[in-house]
C-alpha cells in the first residue's frame, strides 16, 4: 500500500497533520461540525481524504455519513471548523445522491439522463454537440448499457438505473467522485460491474469517496476507511479501521444519539473500548 505511513488514529481531540505531505491530501477536514435543521449531525471531525485513493465512509445509521458527503460537494455549509478543498474547484467534484432522492419514473431518455453530466458545459441554454452525444454513448457502453440510449428511464430496472447514473458520473469527468450508498439494493452482477468502474477511476488516479454498508466491498475495493458515528471513530487504512472493537464503539455512539440534543456535546462520546489493539494504532 502506497500510504502505509498513515496509521488509523482514534480522535479524542484536534490533531495537526503536519506529518502528511500536502500533495497527499485531496480534502482536509479540520474540526468540522455540520448540522441538519440545527441538529448537530457530524461533530468535530478532523482528518484528510488521500488524493487518488478510494476511501469508504462507514458507520451506523444516523452517523452523518450522507451529511458529510453533502458538505464535501457544497450542499451544506460547515457550522464549525474548516473544510479545505486544497485548490479543488466545484467542477472537480462529482456527486451521486442516494437513489431514493431521485425520481425514477421521470420521462427522460437514458441518453438525456447521461448528458446531464455535461451540465457545467451546457448549462441552461448551451448546445449539445455531436461529440458530447458520442461521449454519452461511450459512457453507456462502459457501464454495460451499450445501445440503450433511446430507452425511457422508467423502463429500467433499479440496477440499470444505477448504471445510468454511473454513466452520468463518467461524463462529469471529475477528479473527485462522491458516492452515497451506490450499491444499496443492487444485484450482485450490477454491483460487480460498477465496482469495476470504481476500480477504473482509481487506476486513472481519481479520488473516490463512498458511503458504504458492506464491509466486504470496503475491504476488497477501498484501501482507506473513515469510520463515522457522528464523531470520527477511526480513519486510516481499512484493515486497521474495520476491527470488531472499533465497529462496536461506532454502534455504541449511534445508540446514544439524542434527538433533542440542542448543542454539540463533545463529551457525549462513550469511553473508548480500551483494547490494547487500539493503543497500538494510536499514532499521536
Partner 1 sequence: MTPYELLWQPFADFAFMRHALVGCLALALGCAPIGLFLVLRRMSLVGDAMSHAILPGAAIAFIVYGLSLTAMSIGGLIAGLVVVLAAGLVTRATRLKEDASFAAFYLVSLASGVLLVSKWGSNVDLMHILFGTVLAVDDTALAFLAMVASATLLVLAGIYRALVVESFDPEFLQSMGGRGAWAHFAFLILVVLNLVAGFQALGTLMAVGLMMLPAASARLWAKELPALLGIALLIALLAAYVGLLLSYHADLPSGPCIILTAGIAYFISLAAGTRGGMLRSWLGRAHLEA
Taking the complex as a whole, the smallest distance from the CB of residue 204 to partner 1 amounts, in Å, to 21
Minimum separation from the CB atom of position 279 to partner 1 (A): 40
- Dist. CA 109–CA 118, nearest whole Å: 15
Return the axis-axis angle of helices 130-142 and 158-172, rounded to nearest 10°.
130
Give least dist CB 24 to partner 1, A: 25
| Alpha carbons 229 and 239: distance in angstroms, whole number | 18
Q: Of 90 and 205, which has the nearer Cβ to partner 1?
A: 90
Q: Rounded to the nearest whole angstrom, what is the least distance from the CB of residue 280 to partner 1 in the complex? A: 40
State the residues that interact with partner 1 by CB under 8 A: 37, 70, 73-75, 90, 93-95, 97, 101-103, 106-109, 113, 116, 119-120, 122-125, 152, 154-155
Closer of 79 and 275 to partner 1 (Cβ):
79
> Smaller CB distance to partner 1: residue 75 or 248?
75
Phi/psi of residue 196, nearest 5 degrees: -65, -35
Burial of 55 (0-12, 13-18, 19+ CB in 10 A): buried
| Minimum CB distance to partner 1 smaller for 88 or for 116 | 116
Residue with smaller CB distance to partner 1, 61 or 103: 103
Q: How far is the CB of 91 from partner 1 (least distance, A)?
A: 8
Question: Rounded distance, CA 163 to CA 191, Å?
Answer: 9
Dihedral of CA atoms 125, 131, 136, 138 in degrees, nearest 10, equals: -170
Amino acid at each position: 500500500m502506497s500510504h502505509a505511513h498513515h496509521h488509523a488514529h482514534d480522535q479524542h481531540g484536534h490533531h495537526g497533520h503536519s506529518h502528511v505531505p500536502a500533495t497527499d491530501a485531496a480534502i482536509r477536514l479540520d474540526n468540522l461540525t455540520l448540522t441538519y435543521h440545527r441538529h448537530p449531525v457530524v461533530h468535530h471531525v478532523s482528518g484528510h481524504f488521500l488524493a487518488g485513493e478510494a476511501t469508504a465512509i462507514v458507520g451506523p445509521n444516523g452517523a452523518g455519513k450522507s451529511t458529510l458527503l453533502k458538505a464535501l460537494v457544497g450542499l451544506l455549509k460547515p457550522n464549525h471548523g474548516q473544510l479545505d478543498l486544497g485548490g479543488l474547484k466545484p467542477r472537480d467534484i462529482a456527486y451521486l445522491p442516494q437513489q431514493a432522492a431521485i425520481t425514477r419514473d421521470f420521462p427522460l431518455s437514458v441518453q438525456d439522463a447521461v448528458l446531464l453530466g455535461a451540465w457545467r458545459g451546457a448549462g441552461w441554454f448551451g448546445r449539445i454537440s455531436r461529440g458530447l452525444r458520442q461521449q454519452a454513448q461511450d459512457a453507456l457502453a462502459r457501464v454495460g448499457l451499450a445501445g440503450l440510449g433511446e430507452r425511457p428511464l422508467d423502463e429500467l430496472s433499479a440496477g440499470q438505473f444505477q448504471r445510468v447514473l454511473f454513466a452520468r458520473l463518467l461524463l462529469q469527468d471529475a477528479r473527485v467522485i462522491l458516492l452515497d450508498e451506490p450499491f444499496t439494493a443492487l444485484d450482485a452482477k450490477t454491483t460487480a460491474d460498477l465496482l469495476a468502474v470504481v476500480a477504473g477511476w482509481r487506476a486513472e488516479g481519481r479520488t473516490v469517496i463512498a458511503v458504504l454498508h458492506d464491509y466486504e466491498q470496503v475491504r476488497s475495493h477501498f484501501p482507506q476507511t473513515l469510520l463515522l458515528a457522528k464523531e470520527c471513530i477511526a480513519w486510516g487504512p481499512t484493515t486497521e479501521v474495520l476491527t470488531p472493537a472499533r465497529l462496536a464503539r461506532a454502534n455504541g455512539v449511534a445508540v446514544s444519539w439524542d434527538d433533542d440534543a440542542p448543542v454539540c456535546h463533545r463529551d457525549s462520546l462513550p469511553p473508548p473500548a480500551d483494547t490494547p489493539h487500539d493503543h497500538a494504532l494510536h499514532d499521536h
